[in-house]
Structure 1
């Protein structure tokens, strides 16, 4: 009896709670939805541009959720208003319909979340037509009988919302790759590579230079190869742009990529045009007019009949819309896009340019356009040395997410803030030197753009045996084999290696492995992100076959820690290669080496066009490491073998950057940008500037080459 009474009591209380929630929703649902729509707009305005520098999964999830909810909430609320937009108690509800159009227009700093949003601009255009008709229906049906001030306020906000929504659709269309391609093909290409020589190398001056050279970047992403306009090549200006900029060329490229992010994922393509400025002016004027007219309506004879809560919500929407429009207008006017536009107009616009520049420099816009400076890291031996007894690993295995957990949890990064003596700047310098060496070799026809390690091997006299085939097999297999071989060689080598050289080799090796495992779409060809799993399983099997005890077994699982703090730290902390235990990795390298020794004399080099070697990658990697050790003995103290290995890795990075699809590069701009994308654009600038310097005489003397030369790759 007591149990039955308790159950009946809880059922009654639950039904009362549900009934209260339903009643609250029926009475205040529209108000909640409208405020939620406005809150999402504020969230997107504040955090929409942060993904330019960050690839945080947590941030991406919240931003993605807000982006989708912002549209769906506004559309649902507008549909609800078209069915029941006014009551005697809530007469101002229909007045909010035009605000939802304004919300559908979205903030200026995020129009597309993914690249596909730009290609679906026609679908958004259809949505615009439906929602505009819905808002017009609400205003006509429920506001026609209102007082004149409130009706005019609704019409004024309706016009502003329509323009902002149309601006967003037009920005999506302009951000489409095909639109960028057609805009380049339809006009004459006038980028002057020597214009940079007239500018300084401060960050603000480099940003203006990035705007002046932005057509090169757009050509790269549109997959169009461009040669300089012959009219800009003069004998008096044949100084090397590359030598002038030096490592500042990286800053120039990073700023150009930031501008490309604006073009693809924000309203920049529309805002910084004459009709874009007109839209901003009309929208701001319409919002301010709506605010004034609403105040007149509230203070009039009918104002006393409005719900106090609805009046407060209306003021929140009005003040919020006005503040957002003012922020948007200030950002547009004070933007470096506007500075670049005025700079190209000539001396007549020097005064407004000086005023805008003096304001914008106080917030350092150039520094905010630079790359965050972090390079992903993933090490196969670190993965194999993981603790399989961790709560996260066991839970992921139960849920079938083991591969995903290993990719996310065991990836790390080498960043600008690393405490090591080796820095991101050293990586940049190595790539810059490799590009210069390759450019010089191209002049003498000593290499080609498809070289992915053979140039270094040939130049150092090591292009033979297993080193030769290792750079001619499938690219993903080549990365895996060289990654394992590098790890084994470093652990077996008895030579003294310079600390920075060893660290540089490890960082680039781990970065290429990170791209293979975590971002295979950034590599050319059919890169298989799980190609490394067979090697990892073989290493685990080797440890078992050699009968190592727990004390000597690098794969031995540590006891489970049920400390809540330890569990939480494990789940939230990325256990990247920088956190790994070097002795355990050394032991694993020894295991792989010892287990493969018996086959060194019987295994032959694989056929570059034959079957996959993924199941024998460890064996071939040991063969390659053995050859590298032989080269070390042959060179003795004359040269460090790590220079050869590092050279191969840098050349692989250059090959991957040049042959990765431009669509993959464009997608990555919305996730913090990858170093390989920076290298890709850097290489294209090398081609362009070097072509301008080398080809000046040919272009001047050959009449058939005096026209614009653009062709699809």
Structure 2
């Protein structure tokens, strides 16, 4: 009989399988504890893939190792095996239970994993049974005390993970937030008293009296540290304390709860009185970090009293087990040397990882916020503990670096024909990677650059020289290879079609001349040979539809044209001030909903005079679906952006800076929204519509247009935009082409021309209008994105849209606030 696997390989596997799988399980634990905290700081696919594969393999390897040990315990010893190896392997089973407990920094890879908490309960039971079976099979065993200690530690770790999954499952998460039932005033008792007084013919009336805390809400909500307009900035600790306070308030956003007037006023009062928008950014980034920790890690469980006690017990029993094992005499004689080394490795790495987890636990934002509280009196002396926490949090302070914008140019000044420089500086976020709380950058994707396969210069670049040159080195071959493959594939198709036409002509010619050829060559070619390319295409179409190959390749190709723009302080200040301004109009449910649902029309109607030109621009928003409007305004923004040499800008330095900043804000948000629409469908699922179809149709029309203008090989966005704007687009494209194609290319051209005309007619800076319209489009997407999609994105580096979503909630600009006049109590008044 032929052996598929050679005997010597089987022997090696039988001897080393348990040891190998044990080391694999330990390695996966080390990978998870080192790399899982990094996934909320970067969206890099390689890191996400590493964490995802390790997360899946960790449970598999531990379960597999337990099965191998259980099987090994029932086998007879081989002659060359030391007599007590099985007894030492019995110690490894509870270690695997410890591994199944997982690191503190990752209990769930995705939100769906939290719903599997009941499966983990069963896993705990059966793994415990398997561990007990292994120990019983090894009795009598001199290591039983050590085994029991490790078993206790492993069981506690597994229970911590199960409790974290249970509390983070959306149903239980919602139940933990919902307050106790409030039956309200005793209506029956009140009416009985009213009836009795009426029967006694006493003059009595029922009046409603507002509760005292509602009457004086504004006074009570005002925090002393925010009261003075000349106050100093919030301390690092106060930032974390406010973040924790608002996390407990707004975590109900995840499960779509409705918030009260009081909760809105508390948040609004704080955010309106912040010293700077940067403080809001710091509060929100910590708040989003708390949300991530609550749903993807053990942190929330460990910061409870029972969680802290369980962690002390788990770590203590593991350390005690190691000490007892280390002091056990004659280990090298009783057990196999390799097994002793493996056991020491399990203890050493386990204790080291436990120590790292404790350090991360002690020095986390949670610890600083939970173990301190906001002071009612700002003059109250600061304790030593608070000073330490404040210093600890200062290490993760946002770091900004002033940088010139890379897109430099010359424009005409309004004072004459001379040209002036448009070089300006912005503060870019440069917090070091291991000190970040989120990725700190904005991914952007430009339609016209992608259509022309053109390289787009970054507006800002916070990367070091090594990262810049490394990215160029990595991306250049892929970009060239993609371009070459497209050209070669197109050339091959043309050659095949040409050869087919030539052969068909020759076969037809021979068939007309020679009857033999008509009965042999003609059917052979047309019935068999000519159908081979069609058969290959059919097979490809079947495989493509089943495995979604084209979409995958298309997505990979698009990612080559995505680059990161660092967050700038000025961009955040602009978004913050826009929402702060709009919050003043959101004092009732109707206005708040109207503002949060605006897609640009609110800005256009507020900033432009009432006339036909204003309504012409408003129609580009109200008469189109969101995804159609988004693509149209994106292309129009790029068309305007590339024509900056024709712009006329103000003479004053301040107005010039404002003009240039608005231009850059429009460009960045526009490209960011296109990135979300095309490459982040989960975040835009509620508003995307047929965005991908519109994108493809518009891309197809652009390719056809560039080919007709003979500029298909010119990889220049500037040339492409000039040619698009040169087309006469006075007539609506739908009235010419119909609605079969979903392309918006020349609708965008009309919009760009209307914006330029508006600027000339009304002397309004179109970039100020565009930047505000883009903020509205961003806010509309943020408040219409499903809350679970926002939370999922936190595990992939977070996005600007997540910050805008939470900032809108803080300003009360969502439809989840029940804004009413507050509570009141009924009272019987007896007249004299």
Please state which band the TM-score falls in when normalised by the shorter chain: 0.7 to 0.9
Residues 705 and 61 (structure 1 numbering): CA distance in 2 closer, same or farther, change over 3 Å? farther
Q: 2:348 aligns with which of 319, 323, 326?
A: 319
Q: Which runs of 5+ in 1 are unaligned?
A: 1-11, 417-423, 557-580, 707-713
1:482-631 superposed matches below 5 A: 482-492=633-643, 494-497=646-649, 498-523=659-684, 524-528=686-690, 530-531=692-693, 532-546=695-709, 548=710, 553-556=711-714, 584-595=716-727, 597=728, 600-601=730-731, 603=733, 615-631=742-758
1:122-201 superposed matches below 5 A: 122-142=118-138, 144-147=139-142, 150-186=143-179, 194-195=222-223, 197=225, 201=234
Q: 2:318 aligns with which of 287, 307, 320?
A: 287
- Give the match for residue 250 of structure 1: 281
The 10-residue stretch of structure 1 (98-107 or 182-191) with the greater mean CA deviation from structure 2? 182-191
Residues 661 and 107 (structure 1 numbering): CA distance in 2 closer, same or farther, change over 3 Å? same
- Give the match for residue 37 of structure 2: 49
SS at 1:226's partner residue? Answer: coil
Residues 355 and 381 (structure 1 numbering): CA distance in 2 closer, same or farther, change over 3 Å? closer
Residue 228 of structure 1: how far off its partner (Å): 5.1
Whether 1:342 and 2:406 are equivalent positions in the alignment is no
**Contact 2:90/2:135 (CA < 8 Å) preserved in 1?**
yes
Q: TM-score, normalised by structure 2?
A: 0.70
Separation (CA, whole Å) in 1 of partners of 2:341 and 2:437: 42
Residue 405 of structure 1: how far off its partner (Å): 2.1
Residues 194 and 96 (structure 1 numbering): CA distance in 2 closer, same or farther, change over 3 Å? farther
Separation (CA, whole Å) in 1 of partners of 2:134 and 2:444: 55
The 10-residue stretch of structure 1 (85-94 or 108-117) with the greater mean CA deviation from structure 2? 85-94
Residues 507 and 615 (structure 1 numbering): CA distance in 2 closer, same or farther, change over 3 Å? same
String of CA shifts for 1:380-412, please: whole Å, max 9, x gaps. 110011179821355598963431123211111
Separation (CA, whole Å) in 1 of partners of 2:813 and 2:595: 16
Alignment root-mean-square deviation, CA: 3.7
- Give the match for residue 100 of structure 2: 104
SS at 2:135's partner residue? Answer: helix
Separation (CA, whole Å) in 2 of partners of 1:329 and 1:55: 26
SS at 1:477's partner residue? Answer: helix
Separation (CA, whole Å) in 1 of partners of 2:747 and 2:160: 57
**Contact 1:283/1:325 (CA < 8 Å) preserved in 2?**
no
SS at 1:486's partner residue? Answer: helix
Separation (CA, whole Å) in 1 of partners of 2:690 and 2:483: 22
Separation (CA, whole Å) in 2 of partners of 1:703 and 1:489: 55
String of CA shifts for 1:284-331, please: whole Å, max 9, x gaps. 12112211232344x05x762211111111111112222222332343
- Give the match for residue 476 of structure 1: 627
Separation (CA, whole Å) in 2 of partners of 1:211 and 1:325: 26
SS at 1:319's partner residue? Answer: helix
Residue 24 of structure 1: how far off its partner (Å): 2.3
Residue 117 of structure 1: how far off its partner (Å): 0.7
Separation (CA, whole Å) in 2 of partners of 1:427 and 1:346: 32
Residue 272 of structure 1: how far off its partner (Å): 0.4
Residue 345 of structure 1: how far off its partner (Å): 11
**Contact 1:378/1:510 (CA < 8 Å) preserved in 2?**
yes
The 10-residue stretch of structure 1 (454-463 or 101-110) with the greater mean CA deviation from structure 2? 454-463
**Contact 1:196/1:209 (CA < 8 Å) preserved in 2?**
no
String of CA shifts for 1:153-191, please: whole Å, max 9, x gaps. 111111110110111011011122222221110359999
Residues 678 and 627 (structure 1 numbering): CA distance in 2 closer, same or farther, change over 3 Å? same
Q: Which runs of 5+ in 2 are unaligned?
A: 183-212, 227-231, 377-381, 399-430, 455-477, 490-539, 541-548, 650-658, 828-832
**Contact 1:518/1:529 (CA < 8 Å) preserved in 2?**
no
1:405-420 superposed matches below 5 A: 405-416=556-567
**Contact 2:153/2:318 (CA < 8 Å) preserved in 1?**
yes
String of CA shifts for 1:432-451, please: whole Å, max 9, x gaps. 12112322333495953211
**Contact 1:284/1:325 (CA < 8 Å) preserved in 2?**
yes
Q: 2:802 aligns with which of 677, 682, 685?
A: 677
String of CA shifts for 1:648-685, please: whole Å, max 9, x gaps. 11111111111111011011000000100100101101
Whether 1:60 and 2:36 are equivalent positions in the alignment is no
Separation (CA, whole Å) in 1 of partners of 2:130 and 2:636: 64
Residues 193 and 689 (structure 1 numbering): CA distance in 2 closer, same or farther, change over 3 Å? farther
Separation (CA, whole Å) in 2 of partners of 1:120 and 1:539: 48
Separation (CA, whole Å) in 2 of partners of 1:357 and 1:328: 18
**Contact 2:111/2:295 (CA < 8 Å) preserved in 1?**
yes
Separation (CA, whole Å) in 2 of partners of 1:130 and 1:426: 56
- Give the match for residue 378 of structure 1: 445
Whether 1:442 and 2:586 are equivalent positions in the alignment is yes
Residue 240 of structure 1: how far off its partner (Å): 5.7
Q: 2:68 aligns with which of 77, 80, 83?
A: 80
String of CA shifts for 1:326-368, please: whole Å, max 9, x gaps. 3323433443323333324999xx9794586378458658984
SS at 1:35's partner residue? Answer: helix
Separation (CA, whole Å) in 2 of partners of 1:102 and 1:643: 58
- Give the match for residue 428 of structure 1: 572
Q: TM-score, normalised by structure 1?
A: 0.81
String of CA shifts for 1:469-519, please: whole Å, max 9, x gaps. 434422111111111122223345732253322222111110110100110
Residues 363 and 164 (structure 1 numbering): CA distance in 2 closer, same or farther, change over 3 Å? farther
String of CA shifts for 1:531-567, please: whole Å, max 9, x gaps. 3121111111112223x2xxxx2435xxxxxxxxxxx
**Contact 1:554/1:588 (CA < 8 Å) preserved in 2?**
no
SS at 1:375's partner residue? Answer: strand
Residue 47 of structure 1: how far off its partner (Å): 1.0
Residue 210 of structure 1: how far off its partner (Å): 0.9
String of CA shifts for 1:65-101, please: whole Å, max 9, x gaps. 1111111111111111111137443332221000000
Larger radius of gyration: 2
SS at 1:451's partner residue? Answer: coil
Separation (CA, whole Å) in 2 of partners of 1:270 and 1:344: 20
Separation (CA, whole Å) in 2 of partners of 1:108 and 1:230: 32
**Contact 2:247/2:287 (CA < 8 Å) preserved in 1?**
yes
The 10-residue stretch of structure 1 (391-400 or 249-258) with the greater mean CA deviation from structure 2? 391-400
1:176-325 superposed matches below 5 A: 176-186=169-179, 194-195=222-223, 197=225, 201-227=234-260, 229=262, 241-247=271-277, 248-297=279-328, 299-300=329-330, 304-325=333-354
Separation (CA, whole Å) in 2 of partners of 1:114 and 1:136: 32
- Give the match for residue 522 of structure 2: none
**Contact 2:286/2:365 (CA < 8 Å) preserved in 1?**
no
String of CA shifts for 1:227-285, please: whole Å, max 9, x gaps. 2549998xxx9966423243111110111001111111110121100110111111112
Separation (CA, whole Å) in 2 of partners of 1:623 and 1:162: 67
